[in-house]
Amino acid sequence: MAKRAGWRAGVLGLMLGMAAAAWCQDGPRMLFYAAFDGQTRAFTSTGPTSAVVAASDVLLTGLFGERFAEGVVGQGFLADSGGLAYPTQDAFVPERGTVSLWIRPAYDGTAEDVYSTMFGAANWGLLYKYTTQTFITFGVIKDDGQYDYGCTASIAHWKKGEWHHVAATWDKPGGSRAIYLDGRRAAEGKIPSYRPCDTRMVIGANPGNAYPATGVLDEVWIWDRPLDDDEIAAAYERTRQGEPSWEPPAEVFPLFLFLRIAYD
């Protein structure tokens, strides 16, 4: 994968904040982005007219510190002993949205001794591979507090050390969810009921910081609505070609170009 243009997280947040009013509102709105290029700061968006800011003040690091490795673009977070927790406020909509990430697993998809959690939030659900299973489950928590596991996608073809794109979409009021693997819809299911979400989401482990992803995670994005098949495929292809998964609106692209040149 090509090397990411080396922008600095704090400067990027400042520049995007200055350009917040220019955001395009026709497409999905980015709520959260973590690049993991040697640091765990993320970017959150608080609304159509709000700044996108570096979230250093809201980051809650995992109990085991921060570790990095070669990412799909630039560097990635090595989630082998714990995850990273972030507040959900202004970064995650539990009722509907999309989470997109890349993973380089340290296991084969047929492994029966690895419990790999990629993303989750308390009282909301989990995106994970269970120990004895060869598929990813997008489990959601129902209004009775129990999980519904009715959305799974096989990863039996995965090989240790290979990069894969994983995305999950959900529309809880509409009762639907889906899993995408490497840019294609791989599974879909219904959401029978749901309950209010907790105030914390975790990348690379479950909400209790257990069952780490056991691999490298990179390019984690959250959008405010379910992306469609074409949008997921475009995000996958963009990163497969060595670019970040999200393409900035034309109105703020000059700022991104400036940062790419100035901080490469």
Helix or strand holding residue 84 (H, E)? strand 84-87
Unique residue bearing structure tokens 């989630």:
79
Contact 67, 218 (CB under 8 A): no
pLDDT given for residue 79 in this prediction: 94
pLDDT given for residue 250 in this prediction: 54
Unique residue bearing structure tokens 């003040």:
57
CA distance readout (Å), 247 to 27, 259, 264: 11, 14, 18
pLDDT given for residue 263 in this prediction: 39
pTM assigned to the model: 0.81
In 10 A of CB 199, how many CB atoms? 12
Per run of 10 residues, the mean pLDDT along the chain (length 264 residues) is: 45 44 60 86 55 35 64 94 87 94 98 97 95 97 95 98 98 96 98 87 91 96 95 94 70 47 42
Helix or strand holding residue 201 (H, E)? strand 200-203
Contact 135, 156 (CB under 8 A): yes
Q: With H, G, I as helix, E, B as strand and everything else as coil, classify residue 173.
A: coil
Q: Which residue from 198, 200, 223 is spatially nearest to 87, judged by alpha carbons?
A: 200
pLDDT given for residue 248 in this prediction: 55
pLDDT given for residue 60 in this prediction: 40
| Cα torsion 5, 14, 41, 167: sign | negative
Token output for 77: 């977070």
pLDDT given for residue 138 in this prediction: 98
Q: Which residue from 88, 93, 116 is spatially nearest to 103, judged by alpha carbons?
A: 116
Q: Which residues contact 154 (CB under 8 A, 6 or more apart)?
A: 109, 134, 135, 186
Token output for 3: 């090397």
Domains and CATH numbers, the chain: 9-263 (2.60.120.200)
pLDDT given for residue 226 in this prediction: 97
